Structure 1
Amino acid sequence: MSGLARDAAAFKTALHRQDYTSWHSQPPDIVYSQPADTGTGTNVNTQLVYLVNHLKHNGNPMRLQDLAILTNTPVDTDRVLLEKFRAHDRVVHDPKTDLYSYRHDFNVRNKAALLTEIQRQTRKGSGLSVRTLKESWKEAPQAIEELEKEGEVYVTRTLKDGQMRMVFWNEVKPTEEQGGMPVEKAEFHDLWHELEVPNDVDLLKALASEGLQATASAAPAIKHGGVKKKGKKSAPRHRQVRITNTHLKGTIDLSRDYVAPGGK
């Protein structure tokens, strides 16, 4: 038998030994409503978190079909996942356009709306987190820097790298009409530094002349006498007992210990 004939016979034998059953059968427990390997997991709750996060960072309303393709999840075919997605408190569905968007903490899309929101929060006694504003509007940091240069807001920054942290509304605008302009040095600075703080005694006299008095923490402590020398402690003094039972006087000596007859 030639070499070519031997190779052909070996090839036929290998074909007969090959198992083709796996080509036509699938395990009975495969769920066809979910992809076998999506990259986002097969758990419904895990896929829900991935969908909401994608909608949050996208920033624009999206179609359900586009969400399914971009996140590689069956949100457009899996009824359970779709119901959970629509019921999420951060997901907004517009039935007119059939688009889905993320519900941010603040609905700002321009510089004017941003300033209005900062003013509202500052009047309540608190500022706004720059990070939270950036999540609502990606261009918020640039707008905040512009508002800061215009004197509309105050910004706090981190000590390490100077990143913006909180923003507050500047209620005192740097204008001649509303005040807030820098003060001339000769007008205020020199007068301020020329002021002398009186000593404690003169301060108490000045307060007394106006009918006022210093608080306990501000009043100077007045020491009486010298400082006692450290040494051995003196023996405790015996105080004389005061007899109050005067009606027994003459019958019992109360200055001595009373001992009952028989030593009991």
Structure 2
Amino acid sequence: MSKLAKDAAAFKSTLQRQDFTSWHSQPKPATSTAGTSSAGGGLAIAGEPSSSSAPHKKKRPKTNIVYSQPADTGTGNNVNTQLVYAVNHLKSTHNPMRVQDLAIVTNTPLDTDSVLLEKFRAHDKIQYDPKTDLYSYKHEFAFRNKAALLTEIQRQTRKGGGISVRALKESWKEAPQAIEELEKEGEVLVTRTVKDGQLRMVFWNEIKPTEEAGGMQVEKEFLDLWHTLKVPNDVDLLKQLASEGLQATSSETVAPKAPTAKKKGKRGGAPRQRPVRITNTHLKGDLDLSRDYAAHAKS
């Protein structure tokens, strides 16, 4: 027996004396005592699986499917859901479209489903032109330039109110930029949100910023003086008014109604008769107003 074989036999006997009870699995028993050399010159023990022949565990594919929710089918299968997709897309294009093109873009059976097409045509915001066979969205305002926008703002301001910038943007995408230009020119007045300063409402500026007509911006010195003024609290304000011989105005107080006391006894008793004030004095000579004619007629 060669030295290499002796070393292999000694190594194998050492493995058999080990206690594998704490291992998760027992090693396979050796079936042969002969060792063979690997292709790389290393020693391979019979019965021990080599790294090249070890089976690889297949990893379980990760899935992000949530079975408690319905699958995303794009535009959906419901007729009303598909109608919303089609109407919203036509609203965002600002251009008339054919029903075939709209069906392809929105991935809806608008050109094949008769029920969906009928609902689409009956929508109050959809306008159909039979001459061109095109569909368009009815926007609240119809303007496509800065001058027409100013005319619409003037019309709404004369009625007593402003216009929402969001509604103007839905009719014309460039409306916010045009409104900012009109604001710099002094043609409109704009209100903005407190949080991020976005355009909110727009009004027509009837007083143009000229020295003759007024409407000029107040000088910064007076603005700073105005903002430095502090309104005193209620106690100090009353003291200052009293020192000047003035009184604070108070709102009209409503006199409390006297509580109505309920009489103990029978319910639904006879109503109390109150004396009647006679006002038809011009009939006093011809007619006895104190007499109850209805009671005498029944008797």
**TM-score tier (shorter):** 0.5 to 0.7
SS at match of 1:162: coil
Quick check: 1:106 aligned with 2:131?
no
Q: Is the 8 A contact 2:191 2:201 kept in 1?
A: yes
Equivalent in 60, 73, 76 of residue 108 of structure 2: 73
The 5 A counterparts of 1:61-210 are 61-182=96-217
State how far apart, in whole Å, the 1-side matches of 2:199 and 2:131 are: 39
Shift of 1:173: 0.5
- Asked if the contact 1:104–1:136 (Cα under 8 Å) also holds between the matched residues in 2, the reply is yes
Contact 1:38 1:73 in 2 (8 A): no
In 1, Cα distance between the equivalents of 2:99 and 2:93? 13
C-alpha offsets along residues 124-158 of structure 1, whole Å, 9 cap, x if unaligned?
22211111111110000000000000001111111
2:122 aligned partner, one-letter code: A
Q: 1:49 and 1:146 mapped to 2: Cα distance? A: 35
Select the structure that is richer in helix.
1
* Amino acid of the structure 2 residue aligned with 1:164: L
State the AA in 1 paired with 2:134.
Answer: L
How far is the alpha carbon of 1:182 from its aligned partner?
4.3
| Aligned-partner Cα distance in 2 for 1:86–1:106 | 21
Q: Which AA in structure 2 matches 1:155?
A: V
Q: CA RMSD in A?
A: 3.2
Q: List per-residue Cα deviations over 1:62-84 (Å, max 9, x = no partner).
A: 11111011011111121111111
Q: Distance in 2 between matches of 1:166 and 1:109?
A: 19
Q: Is the 8 A contact 2:188 2:203 kept in 1?
A: yes
Name the CA distance, whole Å, in 1 between partners of 2:172 and 2:103. Answer: 24
Structure 1 segments (4+ residues) deviating >4 Å: 182-186, 198-204
**2:197 is paired with a residue of what secondary structure?**
coil
Query: Structure 1 residue 96: deviation in Å?
Result: 1.9
Tell me, yes or no, if the aligned pair for 1:86 and 1:92 is still in contact at 8 Å. yes
How many Å separate the matches in 2 of 1:134 and 1:104?
Answer: 10
Determine the structure 2 residue equivalent to 1:45. 80
Question: Structure 1 pair 86/185, CA: closer, same or farther in 2 (3 Å)?
Answer: closer
Instruction: Deviation per CA, 1:77-135: give whole Å up to 9, x if none.
Output: 21111111011001011122211111111112111111111112222222111111111
Q: For residues 179 and 203 of structure 1, what CA distance do their matches in structure 2 show?
A: 37
Please state whether the residue corresponding to 1:61 is helix, strand or coil: coil
- Aligned equivalents of 1:111 and 1:201: distance in 2? 57
Q: Alignment partner of 1:173: what SS?
A: coil
Which residue type is aligned with residue 169 of structure 1? W
**Distance in 2 between residues matched to 1:74 and 1:169, nearest whole Å:** 45
CA offsets, 1:165-214, max 9 Å, x none?
1111111110234322346799xx99xxxxxxx9657666xxxxxxxxx8
For residues 66 and 174 of structure 1, do their structure 2 counterparts lie closer, same or farther at Cα, with a shift above 3 Å needed?
Answer: same
Partner of 1:259: none
Q: Deviations over 1:24-53 (max 9, x none)?
A: xxxxxxxxxxxxx96212221111111001
Long gaps (5+) in structure 1:
1-36, 191-197, 205-213, 219-264
Cα distance between partner residues in 1 of 2:80 and 2:212: 58
CA contact (8 A) 2:241 2:248 kept: no
Larger-Rg structure: 2
Which consecutive residues of structure 2, in runs of 5 or more, have no partner in the other structure? 1-71, 226-239, 252-299
TM-score (norm 2): 0.50
Note closer, same or farther for the CA distance 1:217–1:42 as it changes in structure 2 (3 Å cut).
closer
Cα separation, 1, equivalents of 2:209 and 2:161: 22
